[in-house]
Amino acid sequence: MRKLIFSILILICYFLPLNSQSRTKTKEDYLNAIKETEQKIWEAYEHELVTWQKAEPISRSTEPPKPNFYNGAKCEAFLYSVTGEMKYAQRARKLLLESPAGDHTVQSIRFIEKSGVLTNNDLRILEDKLVEAAGRAVEYWTEWGAMNHATNHVVNLLTAVMDYLPNHPNYKIWKQKRDINLSSSWGLWSIEDAQIYIPIWLKPMMEYAEMAGKEKEFYRMPMTKYYFDYFVQLIAPYGGVAEFGDGGMHGFMYYISCLEKGASVYRDGRMKWAAHQIFQSQIVSGEGKAVAAAVHDWVDAYRWADDSIPEEIPSDESRLVLEDYVGKKVVFRNSWEPDATYLFLNYLEDSPFGIDGKEHIIQTIPVETEKNHHGHADENSICLLMKNGSVLLHDSGYRETWSTGPDGQYRADIFHNKLVVRHGIADPQMRLMPFLLIGGRYPFVETKLMHFRRFKEVDISRTRLMHQETGYQWDRLISYLKEKDWFVIFDIVKILRDDAYTITNLFYSQDIVEFDEMDRNWYDTRYRTLGYYHTPNPGEEQLLIYFPEGNLFRRGVEQIRRCYQTSSAMYATKADSFKQDDILVFTTLLIPHSIETDPKSIISSLSDLKIYHKDNGYGIQIPSEDDFIQINAMLNLEAEYLKENVRPRYNFESGKSDYGKLTTDARYCYLHSQKNKLFYSFFKASKLIWNDKPIFQAKSEMVGQDDGTYRKLGTPKWIAWEDEVDLKN
């Protein structure tokens, strides 16, 4: 029956009028959407009820169908309060009496209490249900910490019941439970790294603040404002918050009302714009469950929206979201339009905050496959890549069964676009994926940002993952070539102790559209369908995944179930015995292109591509129409440090590497050669030498030492710089 309801709701989504999408959203748009969706949901229920009544008793379920429980009474009760139409009050009464009490029961009663549809006997029944629900919240809601199970259906439910039954003998018990749960979240950071659960944790506190008259205090706290800005910065071109952790392509529950409230409180047009984008995407997403549940949220969006605030499209370029401790995310983008190029990287590990909640959870319920709580082993993973409306890479999806699968589906590291390391040497004659499926247990890794920088022609990030138990360190260096709309990725693995390892770099897609059977260094890929409902992937873009040094590795494609459908796992892997401090580099070019472009023509244009790998330097020179683009990076960032305890703890000689005609001690250097001109951008360098001639030189100076003297002449590195050099002079 549940699947039937979902199927009906999918049709509802597609047949909702789209006229509200062509203009700026107003409160009236929410109201119209609520009315239209409620009517179709109710018609679907009545149709199902008639079908049940006409069926032979032996072939039908013993219980008649009930109105959709996702919709509850809130929607109908709200519509009565706005329109005064008695049909809504009657429907709300039916739902209230036939469903268990929930966190919006009191609000629904308040909406219709003046209609006269609720008898004294109805109110007694509802009071009993509320007392029972509050008792369940006290006795059985054992998960604790700054996460959704500690606030949703607990904090907001108990606050509402206390307000409705202030003289009940259990009032003090309810209050203590509410206050205890609230204390682990109020003014603190969420311990969940999951797209769908952060707003489900946040909104109950917003509702509590409203009911308790504490909105001024709540919205003044830095944590509160943080999450509204966080949501905005994660808006993807498809109109929703990008998926990370447990979630989905259209996992939008509560985002709209949260952002409308944020826009109203902070007078922020960007939050207003973001709410509008999600509202548009939610209506046309085709995911019935999402829309059915969303009607509740639209009610609050209507209540909290302030249409005097003009929408403002954000102007941020590629950036950290929002910093490198709580957020630990990077977004690369070239605009905020629906056809934007967008790449989202998550590098948040199980961070050392909210420890009491995390420790309680991990010792109370089975969460061995996830970082606490509802987060995935997705550190350094590319969770989303889009261009021109097409999804080219996406995250792994939520679990497909009641509980997490035996191999951690889909939370384990192997299901993400990332590098994974295993002890032992995989048999080259056997399939690789079964070797990598080690039960899905979460590895407690450490991550940190090494650097992020926006330059004129390239945006870069370097994020590091360390796993001491396995014995490796992995830096993912991403270069976004803005003009080309290409991404060049260096995955740099440093071995921390002698051992045998299988090191695998994974990228997922649905279809391998084309590849070269004789030289499996590239795969042209496309997703046809997306998400739980297999909705069509819009746009006409494909993704060429190119491993320029693939001949150094075992390459292959194996099918695996991921994100609710059969996926193709493309990999480059190295299985061998390694020594401490060995370094391995996996280079990948992600090249979005039109479906009309022959991928072989792109590969052909790269025939003169050059790789520079000498000592501690690694570079790639990519031919371009006007000459070439070159990306150069230091592999072991700590190798340049001198043994002597002096400052600077480095010099040009200790850090320099050769990259063809370039010699530099830069940790990162980008070059663009155009005829007789050379444009460069660098991060942390003291000198750049091109073709034996210095093109950048930092000044030397007397530097203070540990003993307080200024006895050493040194050359401190410049953090970053870019310039153009005329090579004719």
Residue 588 and residue 451 share a domain = yes
Kindly tell me if the per-residue pLDDT of 24 is higher than 70: no
Whole-number mean pLDDT of the chain?
92
Kindly tell me if the per-residue pLDDT of 251 is higher than 90: no
Q: How much is the pLDDT for 173?
A: 98
Kindly tell me if the per-residue pLDDT of 595 is higher than 50: yes
68 or 7, which is more confident:
68
The answer to whether 618 and 635 have CB atoms below 8 angstroms apart is yes
Kindly tell me if the per-residue pLDDT of 22 is higher than 50: no
Residue 515 and residue 371 share a domain = yes
Q: Which of 59-68, 266-275, 312-321, 541-550 has the lowest mean pLDDT?
A: 59-68
The answer to whether 452 and 461 have CB atoms below 8 angstroms apart is yes
270 or 626, which is more confident:
270
Q: Which of 52-66, 442-456, 507-521 has the lowest mean pLDDT?
A: 52-66
CA angle 299, 301, 303 (to 5 degrees): 70
Give the mean model confidence (pLDDT) for residues 646-666: 96
In a domain, 713, yes or no: yes
Residue 449 and residue 402 share a domain = yes
The amino acid sitting at 168 is H
The per-residue pLDDT for range 459-495, each reduced to its tens digit, is: 999 999 999 999 999 999 999 999 999 999 999 999 9
> What's the Cα-to-Cα distance from 541 to each of 117, 332, 338, 547, 592, rounded to whole Å?
55, 18, 14, 20, 7
Distance CA 327, CA 232 (A): 13
The answer to whether 591 and 609 have CB atoms below 8 angstroms apart is no
Distance CA 306, CA 687 (A): 55
Distance CA 624, CA 484 (A): 9
Q: Which of 48-62, 120-134, 562-576, 629-643 has the lowest mean pLDDT?
A: 48-62
- In this prediction, residue 512 has a pLDDT band, given cuts at 50, 70 and 90, of very high
Distance CA 140, CA 523 (A): 51
Evaluated on CA atoms 88, 90, 96, 99, the torsion sign reads negative
Considering only CA atoms, which of 154, 123, 128, 119 is closest in space to residue 139?
A: 154
Residue 581 and residue 618 share a domain = no
Distance CA 260, CA 270 (A): 10
Q: How much is the pLDDT for 280?
A: 87
The per-residue pLDDT for range 296-355, each reduced to its tens digit, is: 899 999 999 999 999 999 999 999 999 999 999 999 999 999 999 999 999 999 989 999
- In this prediction, residue 284 has a pLDDT band, given cuts at 50, 70 and 90, of low
Coil, helix or strand at residue 354? coil
Q: How much is the pLDDT for 229?
A: 98
Residues near 537 by beta carbon (within 8 Å), at least 6 away in sequence:
390, 391, 526, 527, 528, 529, 530
Give the mean model confidence (pLDDT) for residues 672-694: 96
- In this prediction, residue 706 has a pLDDT band, given cuts at 50, 70 and 90, of confident
Q: Which of 380-384, 406-410, 531-535 has the lowest mean pLDDT?
A: 531-535
Residue 618 and residue 583 share a domain = no
Q: Which of 568, 595, 622 is the last residue of a domain?
A: 595
Distance CA 267, CA 260 (A): 10
Residues near 532 by beta carbon (within 8 Å), at least 6 away in sequence:
248, 287, 397, 398, 564
CATH of residue 699's domain is 2.60.220
- Whose tokens are 């370094």? That residue is 583
Q: How much is the pLDDT for 7?
A: 43
Q: How much is the pLDDT for 17?
A: 39
- In this prediction, residue 292 has a pLDDT band, given cuts at 50, 70 and 90, of low
Q: How much is the pLDDT for 157?
A: 96
- The residues that bridge with 331 in the sheet, in sequence order, are 319, 344
Considering only CA atoms, which of 448, 455, 474, 505 is closest in space to residue 332?
A: 455
Q: How much is the pLDDT for 21?
A: 36
Kindly tell me if the per-residue pLDDT of 11 is higher than 60: no
Q: How much is the pLDDT for 176?
A: 97
Residues near 319 by beta carbon (within 8 Å), at least 6 away in sequence:
233, 330, 331, 452, 454
Q: Which of 531, 564, 595 is the last residue of a domain?
A: 595
The answer to whether 208 and 155 have CB atoms below 8 angstroms apart is yes
Evaluated on CA atoms 112, 113, 115, 121, the torsion sign reads positive
Residue 388 and residue 535 share a domain = yes
Residue 613 and residue 590 share a domain = no
In a domain, 517, yes or no: yes
Q: How much is the pLDDT for 636?
A: 97
List the domain range (segments joined by +) for residue 376: 320-595
Give the mean model confidence (pLDDT) for residues 602-630: 95
The kind and range of the H/E element at 159 are: helix 155-164
Kindly tell me if the per-residue pLDDT of 14 is higher than 50: no
CATH of residue 380's domain is 2.70.98.70
Kindly tell me if the per-residue pLDDT of 289 is higher than 50: no
- In this prediction, residue 23 has a pLDDT band, given cuts at 50, 70 and 90, of very low
In a domain, 678, yes or no: yes
- In this prediction, residue 18 has a pLDDT band, given cuts at 50, 70 and 90, of very low
What proportion of the chain, given as a percentage, has pLDDT over 70? 94
Distance CA 364, CA 171 (A): 27
The amino acid sitting at 392 is L
In a domain, 399, yes or no: yes
In a domain, 244, yes or no: no
The answer to whether 291 and 12 have CB atoms below 8 angstroms apart is yes
In a domain, 72, yes or no: no
Coil, helix or strand at residue 726? strand
In a domain, 655, yes or no: yes
Residue 471 and residue 367 share a domain = yes
In a domain, 487, yes or no: yes
Question: Alpha carbon 635 to chain centroid distance?
Answer: 28
Q: Which of 569, 595, 621 is the last residue of a domain?
A: 595
Residue 395 and residue 508 share a domain = yes
Distance CA 688, CA 721 (A): 11
Residue 618 and residue 525 share a domain = no
Distance CA 412, CA 371 (A): 10
Q: Which of 60-69, 202-211, 679-688 has the lowest mean pLDDT?
A: 60-69
Q: How much is the pLDDT for 12?
A: 39
Distance CA 528, CA 514 (A): 15
CA angle 305, 44, 72 (to 5 degrees): 45
Q: SS3 for 684-717, per residue?
A: EECEEEECCEEEEECCCEEECCCCCCCCEEECCC
Q: How much is the pLDDT for 587?
A: 98
Burial (CB < 10 A; 0-12, 13-18, 19+), residue 676, is exposed
Residue 631 and residue 726 share a domain = yes
The per-residue pLDDT for range 186-242, each reduced to its tens digit, is: 999 999 999 999 999 999 999 999 999 999 999 999 999 999 999 999 999 999 999
The per-residue pLDDT for range 31-47, each reduced to its tens digit, is: 998 998 888 888 888 88
Residue 618 and residue 549 share a domain = no
DSSP annotation of 401 reads: S
The answer to whether 721 and 667 have CB atoms below 8 angstroms apart is no
Q: Which of 183-187, 295-299, 690-694 has the lowest mean pLDDT?
A: 295-299
| Total tally of structural domains belonging to the chain | 2
Residue 583 CB coordination number (10 Å)? 17
The per-residue pLDDT for range 364-407, each reduced to its tens digit, is: 988 888 888 899 999 999 999 999 999 999 999 998 888 888 88
